[in-house]
Each structure stands twice: as C-alpha cells, then as structure tokens.
Copies of this chain bind each other. A is one copy, B any other.
C-alpha cells in the first residue's frame, strides 16, 4: 500500500499553477506527485502505473526523472516557503519554481509494483536559485540519485 502524505505543497498552489503533468492537481491525466515533509526531509511518494515500464518489471527512467523533477521544484518551494515564515497548509500561497537543470544517476533498475519514495535535501544557492539533491528508493532500495537546480518562476511566466 502506498503511504499518503497528509499535507503537500502542491495542494496549496493556486489553480492557475496546478496544471503540471507531473504535479498539478488540476491535470486529470497527470501523475499528481505530492511533496511534503517527513522527519525534516522533503518526500514525494509515487507508484508508477503498469504502462510506465522500461521493460516488463522495471520502471521507465523518464518516470523516475519526472518524479525527481517535480520533487525538486516542490522541495525548493517548501524550503523558500518556510524561509518566508510559512508552512504547508497554513493558507498562504507558496512560491513556485521552474527547473533550470535536472540530473539523474540511475543506480540500479527500478522495480515495478512498489511505491517509489524520493527524499530530498535542499540548499539555497541564491535567493532565487535552490539546489535539491534527491535519492529515490523502491522498497528501501536506492534506485536513483537526482539533482535539480530550481529557479523561482518569473512573474511573467503565466502571462507570456
């Protein structure tokens, strides 16, 4: 059974910013990644669908990359939100990030049929640029390591 996070930063994004195929709650076809906090670390839990395979039995790397991507921007949003004195679920609008770069090391083939858990560490590089280092586990087995450079979304992004 997949563990469900009680609160996630994506639950607090305004609707206009909730269409992401990875983590937007308004995108019906999307993955609905949700990123919260457990034991002081950012966490995203997701069980890939049967079709998300590389070969039967193994998860497609693009899905692992997608998980790391949205886990990265979500983790950065949580960190900046907290730096601003806010918490997930407190009714305030969190900052939104875009991905400047994404790196994934595939440590071992990722088995299908079990929940994946991305666990992140966030570091402020600059007030508008945050680095998120992630590890992705399948049943406590480390399958991938990721790094996302996340940048605060420009104000003009939505209206362009």
Q: Please list the residues of chain A having a beta carbon within 8 angstroms of any beta carbon in chain B.
A: 16-17, 19-22, 27-30, 49, 51-57, 60-63, 65-66, 69-70, 98-106, 109, 157-158, 160
Contact = CB atoms under 8 A, between A and B. Distances in A.
A92 to B, nearest CB: 21
Protomer copies: 2
Contact of A63 (B21, B27, B55): B21
Nearest to A59: B21
Given A21-B54, A21-B62, A104 B106 contact: no
Give the residue among A20, A30, A60, A70 with the most B Cβ atoms within 10 A: A60
A92 B99 CA distance: 40
Contacts of A30: 51
